[in-house]
Amino acid sequence: MQERSDRRLRVLLAKLGMDTHTVGVTIIGHALREAGMEVIFTGLKQTPEMVAAAAIQEDVDVVGISTLSAGHMRNLPKLARLLREQGAGDKLLLAGGVIPQEDQSFLTEAGVHKIFTMGADTRDIVRYLQDWWAERQASEAA
Amino acid sequence: MTDAIADGLLKGTIAAGARAIRWLDDRDPRGAAVIRHIFPATGRAQIVGITGPPGAGKSTLADMLVTELRRRELRVGVIAIDPSSPFTGGAILGDRVRMGRHTLDPGVFIRSLGTRGQAGGLSRSTHDACLVLDAMGYDIVIVETVGVGQDEIDVVNLAHTTIIVGVPGLGDEVQAVKAGLLEAGEIFVINKADRDGYEAAWRQYELMLHLREVSLGAAAGSWPVPLLRAIATAAEGGVEIVDAILAHGAALRKEGTFARRSGLRDREQTLALLRDHLARRALSPAGEAVLAEVEARRIDPYSAVERLLAELDGKALTT
């Protein structure tokens, strides 16, 4: 039987801790939707444990964390570790927002795959995800 | 790989169940293999639909019901559906936002799905996702539809128990009568009962349910459809609604129609899959050419279908 797959990129977008600045993450969400992706919002005041659990229940490909009021040096490495520990280390972990240059290499080493800072163009984020997705699918097909 | 996922979900492993639903939602052939494997283990869970117009508070109500069901030590799966864009196929799935407090409860599994082009208030994969959650051992599976209008009530065919959620001040009686919504459903809830217009809405629904009872007569069955009130944001009404859900499930089991409803659902799903597969087979490989003829208005749609069916008849039955 000829089967057709309708794979669609699924992205979880979340904010950790007491950070309640939602404008950026909402805009990104809409840009990803316009690009044909399924975007799952979790709401505010999430802990790394909650984001990891939601990412697994939703079986997303990408977890995007918006961070605009610090806490990223503690929260993001913890989230990366939880995802790895729960067998979800293959999910792409992105961070965006106010992340000083001097923090970035630490975060990348801790397992954050890509960081977008203030002023990043949403089109660049969309393109980055589309390229990553194309590559992921090609490597799975190989 | 598919066996590992199927065995994992039968043991209740969250990641395995989540992956199975992904395959089914993506129409990955591995999904069908999982269903074959787990089907004998399904048929136990009570599927509870929640439907109603946009903004009726369905997600908040679902959140409240999960809390109450957990208080009674029942395990709960939730499938929350939001619309996909008909233009890009993308979707914002935001129902989890109202249910965040259950994320870390191991007795609760919440999954968001986009409609992905399916009309009727559900996604094409919803039935299969229910089977997965059923096989994982959840006692109750809540299916929250997209906000519906006047006749997107596919959930009625899917669920053992359908809850219709209304709110005060949405429209006059004519709106309510038009809605096929009011002819279906086993439990009615007026949410936001602290709002203006609540008494008027209550009277309208009461009248509607009375008329339904009169017109359906014996065909309505023995279940007395309850009309309940809720203020989901204030956690009011959950106890009564869960009482009604469990009472309806017990009534179905007692009269022997619980399994029959599941069977009817599987029948519908079989027909849907058949339509899907036949259409795809009829269209491959020459279908695009025929469709192009129709688009160019060289042949009419009826003749096009006849031609495609004639070709289908000629195709080998084993593909």
Q: Is residue B260 part of a domain?
A: no
Q: In angstroms, rounded to a whole number, what is the distance separating the alpha carbons of residues A109 and A111?
A: 5
Which of the listed residues B255, B284, B303 is the one where a domain comes to its end? B255
Identify the CATH number of the domain in which residue B242 sits: 3.40.50.300
Contact assignment for B284 to A2 by CB distance below 8 Å: yes
State which of B234, B255, B276 marks the end of a domain: B255
Q: Are residues B3 and B80 in the same domain?
A: no
Alpha carbon of A11: minimum distance to chain B alpha carbons (Å): 10
The whole domain housing B164 covers 43-255
**Whether A41 and B29 lie within 8 Å, measured CB to CB:** no
Q: Are residues B4 and B106 in the same domain?
A: no
Residues of A in contact with B109 (CB under 8 A): 57
φ, ψ (nearest 5 deg) of residue B96: -60, -30
Q: Which residue in B100, B104, B319 is closest to A1 by CB distance?
A: B319
Q: Do A43 and B319 touch (CB under 8 A)?
A: no
Closest CA to B47 of B116, B126, B164, B148: B126
Residues B192 and B221 in one domain: yes
Residue B293 lies inside a defined structural domain of this protein: no
Cβ-defined contact of B93 to A33 (cutoff 8 Å)? no
| pLDDT for residue A1 | 34
Domain shared by B109 and B4, yes or no: no
Q: Are the Cβ atoms of B277 and A8 closer than 8 angstroms?
A: no
d(CA B61, CA B88): 30
CA distances from A20 to A12, A70, B3 (A): 17, 12, 43
Through-space distance between the first and last CA atoms of chain A, rounded to whole angstroms: 22
Percent of chain A with pLDDT over 90: 70
B301 touches chain A (CB under 8 A): no
What is the structure's pLDDT at A116? 94
Domains and CATH numbers, chain A: 38-141 (3.40.50.280)
Q: How many CA atoms lie within 13 A of B208 on its CB side?
A: 25
Q: Which secondary structure element, helix H or strand E, spans residue A33, and what is its range?
A: helix A23-34
Closest CA of chain A from B279, distance in Å: 12
Whether the CB-CB separation of A12 and B91 falls below 8 Å is answered with no
Q: Residue B31: which of B9, B13, B46, B11 has the closest Cα?
A: B9
Q: Identify whether B289 is part of a domain.
A: no
B14 and B54 housed in the same domain = no
Residue B72 in domain: yes
Is residue A60 within 8 A of residue B114, CB to CB? The reply is no
* B69 and B209 together in one domain: yes
Residues B149 and B36 in one domain: no
Note whether residue B304 is domain-resident. no
Rounded mean pLDDT for each run of 10 residues along chain B, 319 residues in total? 94 96 95 96 96 91 98 98 93 93 96 91 93 98 87 83 88 54 84 92 86 74 89 96 97 92 91 90 85 95 92 66
Q: Cα–Cα distance between B280 and B101 in angstroms, integer?
A: 43
ipTM of the complex: 0.93
Number of domains in chain B: 2
- Strand, coil or helix: A7: coil
Enumerate the residues of chain A whose CB falls inside 8 A of the CB of residue B77.
Answer: none
Among the partner-chain residues B27, B85, B280, the one whose CB lies closest to the CB of A33 is B85
Contacts of B96 (CB under 8 A, 6+ apart): A40, A41, A42, A43, A54, A58, B80, B103, B110, B112
Instruction: Please count the CA atoms within 13 angstroms of the CA of B182 that sit on its side-chain side.
Output: 22
In this structure, is residue B278 part of a structural domain?
no
Q: Which residues of chain A have pLDDT under 50?
A: 1-4
The Cα A62–Cα A9 span in angstroms is 8
Residues of chain A contacting B94 with CB distance shorter than 8 Å: 40-41
Same domain? B107 vs B220? yes
Confirm or reject contact between B222 and chain A (CB < 8 A). Answer: no
pLDDT for B120 equals 83
Bond preceding residue B285 cis, omega within 30 of 0: yes
Tell me how crowded residue B296 is: count the other CB atoms within 10 A of its CB. Answer: 8
8 A C-beta contact, residue B27 and residue B140: no
Return the residue of A nearest to B102 by Cα: A50
Measured CB to CB, residues of chain A less than 8 Å from chain B are: 1-8, 10, 29-30, 32-43, 45-46, 49-50, 53-54, 56-59, 86-88
> HEC string of chain B?
CHHHHHHHHHCCCHHHHHHHHHHHHCCCHHHHHHHHHHHHHCCCCEEEEEECCCCCCHHHHHHHHHHHHHHCCCCEEEEEEECECCCCCCEEECHHHHHHHHCCCCCEEEEEEECCCCCCCCCCCHHHHHHHHHHCCCCEEEEECCCCCCCCCCHHHHCCEEEEEECCCCCCHHHHHHCHHHHCCCEEEECCCCCCCHHHHHHHHHHHHHHHHHHHHHHHCCCCCCEEECEHHHCECHHHHHHHHHHHHHHHHHHCCHHHHHHHHHHHHHHHHHHHHHHHHHHCCCHHHHHHHHHCCCCCHHHHHHHHHHHHHHCCCCC
Q: Is-contact B65 B142, C-beta < 8 A? A: yes
B72 and B203, same domain (yes or no)? yes
Residues B24 and B130 grouped into a single domain:
no
Does B311 reside within a domain? no
Residue B129 domain flag: yes
Contact at CB, B19 and A1, closer than 8 angstroms: no
Q: What is the rounded end-to-end Cα distance, in angstroms, of chain B?
A: 24
Output the six-digit token pair for B122: 């559900």
| Domain boundary residue, one of B204, B234, B255 | B255
Q: Which of B26, B28, B47 shows the shortest CA–CA distance to B259?
A: B47
What's the pLDDT at A2? 35
> Are B150 and B179 part of one and the same domain?
yes
pLDDT of residue B153: 76
pTM: 0.92
| Shared domain check, B210 and B192 | yes
